[in-house]
């Protein structure tokens, strides 16, 4: 039997659920102390229910909730302004993550917390390893960075809108193919994570260039670019290299466990484990 690994971008899921649970109790944009426990309880319950719904919908054989490191990841060392200004997780929610992980374990879903990488890097590593074995990986997240991984064996599912974010979605939203997204964001930057791109080049120009030349490498070596575009690229050569590093998801993190360790109990798929076990450590 083929394996189907579902990877949950845990904080992406939990923080969105928390925001929905918190909203009715907000007063002057703050949460009253006597309602904190209620909101956390509601978040834990809704997060567990979401996991059960994901299992019911996606029918995985294996599943893992992946969490970010509590320490700043390697991207901050390269670029201190990474994610600058992003709203921090409420302290009471952060303090409850271990309890939420315990709730996940109660329904058979293990959690993986990174030591120094972001959850995105761990998820990318796992998804690619499984895909290279010819098995299926589904990433549950609304984070656009995972769309660059889309292929025959890797898909992205938006739990909140109950839809797959496929190649058609990518082309409609970004005007390029999924395998061109990294090049696109290197040119335009990623405002969500405060990663700058090439000054003066927006999505329309970047997607047009990529559709014409195929890749960032081809654009940079082209001899027939408009003078203004060529000058912008030349002036931003260092920024291009930095942005590409920041935007690239790691795919080779040593994991130290085997796929059979995260097999869902209701799917005792020994054959699937053997097919994808390979080198997962």
Q: What is residue 256's predicted lDDT score, i.e. its pLDDT?
A: 83
Nearest to 2 by CA among 278, 280, 273, 272: 272
**Residue 266 binned pLDDT confidence (cut-offs 50, 70, 90):** low
**Choice between 129 and 32, residue whose per-residue pLDDT is larger:** 129
**Average pLDDT for residues 11-18, to the nearest whole number?**
97
Going by DSSP bridges, is the β-strand pair 163-164/154-158 parallel, antiparallel, or unpaired? antiparallel
Q: What is residue 279's predicted lDDT score, i.e. its pLDDT?
A: 41
Q: Mean pLDDT: which of 28-37, 235-244, 254-263 is highest? A: 235-244
76: its two tokens: 């901050």
**Average pLDDT for residues 152-160, to the nearest whole number?**
97
Domain 172-247, what fold?
A: DNA polymerase; domain 1 (1.10.150)
Q: State the Cα–Cα distance between residues 138 and 148, nearest whole angstrom.
A: 13
Does residue 267 have a pLDDT over 80? no
How does DSSP classify residue 263? Answer: B
Q: What is residue 138's predicted lDDT score, i.e. its pLDDT?
A: 98
Vertex 87 angle, CA 83 and 88, to 5°: 95
Nearest to 156 by CA among 165, 167, 145: 165
In tens, the pLDDT along 188-230 reads 999 999 999 999 999 999 999 999 999 999 999 999 999 999 9
**Choice between 87 and 61, residue whose per-residue pLDDT is larger:** 61
Q: State the Cα–Cα distance between residues 137 and 45, nearest whole angstrom.
A: 26
Q: What is the mean pLDDT of the chain?
A: 92
**For the domain 4-170+249-268, what is the CATH code?**
3.40.50.1010
Q: What is residue 278's predicted lDDT score, i.e. its pLDDT?
A: 42
**Choice between 267 and 239, residue whose per-residue pLDDT is larger:** 239
Does residue 70 have a pLDDT over 90? no
In tens, the pLDDT along 95-138 reads 999 999 999 999 999 999 988 889 999 999 999 999 999 999 99
Q: Mean pLDDT: which of 71-85, 134-148, 267-281 is highest? A: 134-148
Q: State the Cα–Cα distance between residues 113 and 147, nearest whole angstrom.
A: 22
Cβ-contact 55, 264 below 8 angstroms: yes
Coil/strand/helix, residue 104: helix
Does residue 78 have a pLDDT over 60? yes
Provide the residue ranges of all domains of the chain, joining segments of one domain with +. Answer: 4-170+249-268, 172-247
Q: What is residue 33's predicted lDDT score, i.e. its pLDDT?
A: 83
Q: Who contacts 237 (Cβ-Cβ below 8 Å, separation ≥6)?
A: none
Residue 94: phi and psi, rounded to 5, are: -60, -40
In tens, the pLDDT along 163-191 reads 999 999 999 999 999 999 999 999 999 99
Does residue 1 have a pLDDT over 80? no
This prediction has a pTM of 0.92
How does DSSP classify residue 86? Answer: P
């Amino acid at each position: 039997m083929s394996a189907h690994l579902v990877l949950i971008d845990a904080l992406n899921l939990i923080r969105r659920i928390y925001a929905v649970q918190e909203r009715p109790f907000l007063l002057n944009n703050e949460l009253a102390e006597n309602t904190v426990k209620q909101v956390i309880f509601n978040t834990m319950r809704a997060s567990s229910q979401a996991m059960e719904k994901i299992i019911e919908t996606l029918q995985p054989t294996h599943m893992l909730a992946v969490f970010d490191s509590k320490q700043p990841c390697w991207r901050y060392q390269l670029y201190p302004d990474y994610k600058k200004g992003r709203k921090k997780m409420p302290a009471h929610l952060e303090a409850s993550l271990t309890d939420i992980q315990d709730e996940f374990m109660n329904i058979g879903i293990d959690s993986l917390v990174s030591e120094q990488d972001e959850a995105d890097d761990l998820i990318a590593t796992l998804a690619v390893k499984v895909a290279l074995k010819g098995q299926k990986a589904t990433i549950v997240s609304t984070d656009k960075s995972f769309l660059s991984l889309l292929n025959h064996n890797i898909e992205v599912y938006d739990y909140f809108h109950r839809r797959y974010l496929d190649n058609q979605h990518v082309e409609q939203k970004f005007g390029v193919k999924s395998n061109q997204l990294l090049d696109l964001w290197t040119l335009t930057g990623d405002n969500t994570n405060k990663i700058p791109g090439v000054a003066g080049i927006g999505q329309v120009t970047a997607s047009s260039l990529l559709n014409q030349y195929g890749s960032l490498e081809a654009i940079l070596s082209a001899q027939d670019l408009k003078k203004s575009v060529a000058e912008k690229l030349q002036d931003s050569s260092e920024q291009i290299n930095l942005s590409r590093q920041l935007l690239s998801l790691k795919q080779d993190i040593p994991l130290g466990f085997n796929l059979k360790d995260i097999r869902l109990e209701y799917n005792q798929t020994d054959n699937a484990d053997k097919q994808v076990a390979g080198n997962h450590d």
